[in-house]
A and B are shown apart, each in its own frame.
Chain A
Amino acid sequence: MPDALQAHVARCAQCQRALRLESAYQRVLRAVREAPTPACELPWARVQARLAARVVARRTPVWQRYALAGGLAAAFLVASLAWLTRTPVPTLPSDASTEASLAASVPSPAPPRALPEIAAPEGGAPPSPAPKHVASTQPAPRLNRPAQARKPALPATPAAQSPSFAQPTTPAQPTAQSTTPAQSDVKLGFRTSRLNPERGERIALSAYGISPNPSEMVEAFAFEALSGAEPFTIACLPLSQYELHNSNPQVEYLPIRYGTPSSLSSEGNTDDAIICSF
């Protein structure tokens, strides 16, 4: 210990105490280090046996692997059978003349999109008069949806085009577009169609009716309950890339309430966005 430090310790009681404690600590440490530690008597054979036992315990039994494979195969088989035996989707009538007249009446302000044409069901409705544009004093409804929420292509089957409905109908015959049971024989619903892709995107909403009896489908298509004998076109909505908007001031729309939870949450079809309720 340097002389200066010794001189300080001689005067400082706190340092004297710390020095005494340190000396005692070193003595204790030395004694503890020198004390013999008992030897580990654990033999390697015991460790090896435990190791082997753990490996065996972790291994999956063979029957479990076969059971898992069998279960997966059975699930796949059931799913395949369910898919193959599903109910065929009935064809819905189409109002081609209505769609054509709608295309002619509304200019196309939106850029063309690469959406496939929705094929109108063949042999459906007879030619019908031009659609009736319904005037309304309310501002055009706007539907703002994010661009990434839209799918670039429409499904080809009518079942995926317009899953909305207007009135409840009987549950006797399943249809793809009218989805609720009704009290009458006629099912009512809305259908959306894309018109005149050369001029841009249009979406036409048309109402339709389906009878459970296919032979009565044409007669049932008239919407007496809503608008008399002629097919009732609700609106023709130009479709821009991101939203539906009213770019043609000469076209007015029915007051349509957009954004029902089911329609907005459904991202499966572009046309779903304009499925609406009055």
Chain B
Amino acid sequence: MMDRALAMDNLYAGAVDRTLTDEQLATRARAGDTAAMEELYLRYRQPIFRVVYRSTRNLDEAEDIVQDVFLKAFERLHTFREQSRFSTWLMRIALNLCTDRARMRQRRQELLEREANHKLAWSHPDAPDPVETAQQNAFNEAFYTALNQLPDHHRQMIILRDLEEMEYEEIAQILGTSVGAVKLRVMRARRAFKAKLEPLLRAIGELE
């Protein structure tokens, strides 16, 4: 399924010069060039998906968000003023949508917990499959368990800086803030994250 989709994408993505920069493609896309849009989509689909998936840990939801990211981006291309890179602008849209989804998920989670308190046997749609969990790496499990316990702004910092290994300057551009502020946020996020991670690592025997 995945190979077929990629093959179809590669088949269609020949209508535009691939040596064009993102900004040139964005200019063409703004004029209605769908081939330029497609090229931009193919360039940034996977990077955006990776960040989103690390934030949501749900394949379907991550794909929905990726789709929304590109829909929003192409509809609002006229607001892209090329003061930052296209990838930065796109990442900002993705993070905002992730934040929105996280809020919705939190509300849904609260509702589910309330239902559980009323002894209703509802299955949690986002709960990991026990068999799959057993097969996953213990590190991964501990990491994402701790990550999901963080507030959204801390989680974004850990994903962007420690997982995606973005530069402080790039994160500052994405978030529209200064480099100093980003460093401070990363430091606080790591401190909070380690506090959540430490007992989990002790539980799996990784920390004495």
Contact = CB atoms under 8 A, between A and B. Distances in A.
A29 B207 contact: no
A46 interface: yes
Nearest to A30: B139
A65 interface: no
B89 interface: no
B137 to A, nearest CB: 6
Interface in B42-75: 42, 45-46, 48-50, 53-54, 59, 62-63, 66-67, 70-71, 74-75
Contact of A50 (B67, B137, B194): B67
B53 A37 contact: yes
A35 B41 contact: no
Contacts, number: 94
B208 A51 contact: no
A41 interface: yes
Contact of A44 (B9, B54, B140, B142): B9
B140 A20 contact: no
A47 interface: yes
Given A31-B137, A38-B59, A54-B71, A43 B5 contact: yes
A20 B201 CA distance: 11
B143 interface: yes
Contacts of B206: 24, 27-28
B142 A28 contact: yes
A32 B163 contact: yes
Contacts of B131: none
A37 B71 contact: no
A31 B190 CA distance: 17
Contacts of B162: 29
Given A28-B139, A31-B140, A38-B59, A44 B71 contact: no
A48 B34 contact: yes
Given A40-B66, A45-B8, A32 B34 contact: no
Given A44-B42, A51-B71, A51-B74, A27 B139 contact: yes
Contacts of A33: 163, 165
B38 A48 contact: yes
Q: Is the interface of B mostly helix, strand, loop or mixed?
A: helix
A47 B37 CA distance: 10
B1 interface: yes
A48 B8 CA distance: 14
Contacts of A29: 143, 162-163
Chain B contact-residue range equals 35 or more
Interface residues of A, number: 27
A202 to B, nearest CB: 62
Contacts of A47: 41, 67, 70-71
A37 B75 CA distance: 28
Contact of A41 (B63, B71, B140, B144): B63
Given A20-B207, A35-B140, A43 B163 contact: no
B193 to A, nearest CB: 8
Given A21-B207, A33-B163, A37-B50, A28 B45 contact: no
15 contacts: A21-B197, A27-B139, A31-B140, A32-B140, A32-B143, A32-B144, A37-B53, A37-B54, A40-B49, A40-B62, A42-B5, A43-B5, A44-B12, A48-B38, A50-B71
Interface of B: 1-2, 5-6, 8-9, 12-13, 34, 37-38, 41-42, 45-46, 48-50, 53-54, 59, 62-63, 66-67, 70-71, 74-75, 137, 139-140, 142-144, 162-163, 165, 190, 193-194, 197-198, 201, 206-208
Given A29-B163, A31-B139, A44-B9, 10 more contacts: A29-B162, A31-B137, A31-B143, A33-B165, A35-B140, A37-B54, A38-B59, A40-B45, A42-B49, A54-B71
- Which 8 A-B pairs give the minimum distances between C-beta atoms? A40-B49, A31-B139, A43-B5, A41-B2, A28-B139, A42-B63, A37-B50, A32-B143
